[in-house]
Structure 1
Amino acid sequence: MEPNKPQNNPVKPNPWEKPLKPKKPKTPREPINFKKYWKLITVLSLALFALIILLTNVYVVKENEYRVVRQFGEVVGIYEEPGIRMKTPFIQSVSTLPKYQMTYDVSEAEINTKDKKRIIIDNYAVWHVVNPRELITNAVTIVNAESRMEEFIYSVVRTELGQLNYDEIINDENSSRGSLNDNVTARVNELLEKDQYGIRVVDVRMKRTDLPEENEQSVYTRMISERDSTAQDYLSQGDAKKREIEAQADREAQEVIASAKKEAALIQSEGESEAAKIYNASFSKDPEFYELYRSLQSYTKTIGDDTVIILPSDSPYAQILSGNLE
């Protein structure tokens, strides 16, 4: 028997595989010669640097703001007209101050009124910057300007309310209460202008007035008592007015009734006078009939259902009753 010989089994090619391409030999690249492009690189670098410097030193002035330019910390320009401007690179800086109106909430404070009542007040102020240079010189920052404004508001409000009673402060119908805000605003502006802080207060308003907790109940009780007393005064005045109107109406009614009775009496007397004239004219034509008529009238008044009359038989009155008219 022959030993087993290795069998040569050829590998069948896969029709789905792409045939491998023979690799091309790599050609060595030439090194870049930077010396050839150094002028172009320098020009582009300088242009980019100039563009960066330009963009970082251009600023825009908006309608509702001030732009303050400082050079080594000193103010060299303040601009408020809208537009595009440029500062000197590296030695100048630009900051912004608001030009629009702002609202500042003043801290609550406790004061004493003229009638020795302790109250807590809460105000707010509407203000704006009118002179940026004065603000930077004397107040330095917006925060410092608001702090000084708050001090002036507290001082003026304490002085103004110290001249009013508590009832005048809480009563909106009182004229002095209505002008308080205007007085405080005007006085605060005088103090700000005197110290040249560069800001102006448009309006100061009192948002709320409260009592300390230990005084609230006693004041409320007193207010209720005063309102009850006022209500009783109104009721008393109403009753007095009612009685006055009723008396006037009764007096006018009595006058109308008396006038009517007087007029009725005149009419009745005129009627009786006219009737008497007619009776006289009628009875004068037949006196005997008149005597008979008067006698019959007297009978109707003297004789009733239970009347008993005792008369002599020969009296004319008895003869008439008996029917003897001769």
Structure 2
Amino acid sequence: MADEKIINMNDLKNKNIEWRKYTRLGITIVAFFVLVGFVLSNLFIVKEGEYKVIRQFGEVVKIIDQPGLNYKIPFIQTVSTLPKYQKVFDVEKAEINTKDKKRIMIDNYAIWRISDPKMMISNLRSVENAEAKMGEFIFSVVRTELGQLNYDEIIDEENSSRGSLNETVTAKVNEFLKRDNYGVTVIDIRMKRTDLPAENEESVYKRMISERESKAQEYLSMGDAEKNRTIAKTDREVKELLAKAQADAEQIRAEGEQIAAQTYNSAFSQDPEFYNLYRTLESYKRTIDGETVIILPNNSPYAKLLMGYTQ
């Protein structure tokens, strides 16, 4: 029994060596994955259409604008993204007063981009702050420009005096942004719509209706004038055509009567006695009817013919 309880020290030593070997292998694998994860967590990709801003202790130390794979210093540097492409900023609606002290609601939008990322980060910190600052400038400039116009000049696009308002506002807002080194540039500013306060809508609608009715009456008057000119021209042309046709008819009739007279003369000259008889018969047609009373001498040739005497 004493022999069975004897511990083999060599076997125990071998087991301890094998356990330490697997432990070291596990630690190595874990350390490898931790190192890989640590490295990967500090790699970043710069895409098309974006800036990568690298800060070190809160200060901008580098701005990367070319696409590709990059690396930051662990624990010391941080990376943020800014848009490189153009953005659309929908400016909040605002109410302004016109030159004649009337209120009007304006709604604008701006197309802008970051032209200097470092300056933009230093002075504005974020895209939201940049848009807020642009909104202040846009409202100020639009209020100043439209405040120089009367209410009717703003709403009447055909006779407006506001000119190239969008270009003017864009240029002045860019002046303010450049003056304060904000690192952003406005590409274009447009007025989407102009709303009227409720108390002004009815008067504007009435004015619009009056203007449209006036324009319609103007078109009707122009149409009537054109119609009268057309009718007068047509009547004149008809009279000219009728006069020419009448003249042509008279000429043709005269030529026909001349030809007929020549034909009669030629025919009657060949037999005078027949001509006398024809003239006598024609006179009968004109003078004798159911109520005719003729008094003639008995020896009158005409009476003899009527009575049937040939001698």
Normalised TM-score (structure 2): 0.81
* Amino acid in structure 2 at the alignment position of 1:130: S
1:182: how far off?
Answer: 4.2
**1:258 & 1:116 partners in 2: Cα distance?**
69
State the Cα deviation string for residues 220-255 of structure 1 (Å, max 9, x = none).
Answer: 012112211211111111111111101111110110
**2:169 & 2:306 partners in 1: Cα distance?**
112
Q: CA 1:154 to 1:273, structure 2 compared with 1: closer, same or farther past 3 Å?
A: same
Aligned residue in 1 for 2:103: 118
| RMSD, aligned CA | 3.4
**2:298 & 2:180 partners in 1: Cα distance?**
136
Aligned residue in 1 for 2:240: 255
Could you tell me which of 278, 289, 293 is aligned with 1:304?
289
Percent identity between the two aligned chains? 58
**2:196 & 2:287 partners in 1: Cα distance?**
93
Asked if 1:194 corresponds to 2:179, the answer is yes
Q: CA 1:93 to 1:251, structure 2 compared with 1: closer, same or farther past 3 Å?
A: same
Asked if 1:235 corresponds to 2:197, the answer is no
Q: How many residues align?
A: 300
Asked if 1:58 corresponds to 2:43, the answer is yes
Asked if 1:265 corresponds to 2:275, the answer is no
Q: Structure 1 stretches of 5 or more lacking a match?
A: 1-24
1:52: how far off?
Answer: 4.8
**1:156 & 1:318 partners in 2: Cα distance?**
121
Q: CA 1:137 to 1:324, structure 2 compared with 1: closer, same or farther past 3 Å?
A: farther
Say whether the 8 Å CA contact 1:64–1:99 is kept in structure 2: yes
Select the structure of larger CA radius of gyration.
1
1:185: how far off?
Answer: 3.3
**2:163 & 2:253 partners in 1: Cα distance?**
71
Could you tell me which of 119, 143, 162 is aligned with 1:134?
119
More deviation in 305-314 or 97-106?
Answer: 305-314
Asked if 1:217 corresponds to 2:179, the answer is no
Q: CA 1:315 to 1:152, structure 2 compared with 1: closer, same or farther past 3 Å?
A: farther
Equivalences for residues 164-179 of structure 1 within 5 A: 169-170=154-155, 179=164
Asked if 1:281 corresponds to 2:266, the answer is yes
1:204: how far off?
Answer: 2.4
Give SS of 2:55's match: strand
Give SS of 1:239's match: helix
1:277: how far off?
Answer: 1.6
* Amino acid in structure 2 at the alignment position of 1:223: M
Aligned residue in 1 for 2:88: 103
* Amino acid in structure 1 at the alignment position of 2:207: R
Asked if 1:143 corresponds to 2:128, the answer is yes
1:216: how far off?
Answer: 0.4
* Amino acid in structure 2 at the alignment position of 1:199: V
More helix by share: 2
Q: CA 1:324 to 1:117, structure 2 compared with 1: closer, same or farther past 3 Å?
A: farther
Q: CA 1:279 to 1:42, structure 2 compared with 1: closer, same or farther past 3 Å?
A: closer
State the Cα deviation string for residues 252-305 of structure 1 (Å, max 9, x = none).
Answer: 011001001101111111111111122222222333332332222222122233
Aligned residue in 1 for 2:277: 292
Normalised TM-score (structure 1): 0.78
**1:231 & 1:109 partners in 2: Cα distance?**
35
Q: CA 1:111 to 1:310, structure 2 compared with 1: closer, same or farther past 3 Å?
A: farther
Say whether the 8 Å CA contact 2:177–2:185 is kept in structure 1: yes
Give SS of 1:304's match: coil
Say whether the 8 Å CA contact 2:154–2:160 is kept in structure 1: no
More deviation in 255-264 or 169-178?
Answer: 169-178
Give SS of 2:225's match: helix
Q: CA 1:43 to 1:279, structure 2 compared with 1: closer, same or farther past 3 Å?
A: closer
Say whether the 8 Å CA contact 1:171–1:177 is kept in structure 2: no
**1:302 & 1:224 partners in 2: Cα distance?**
80
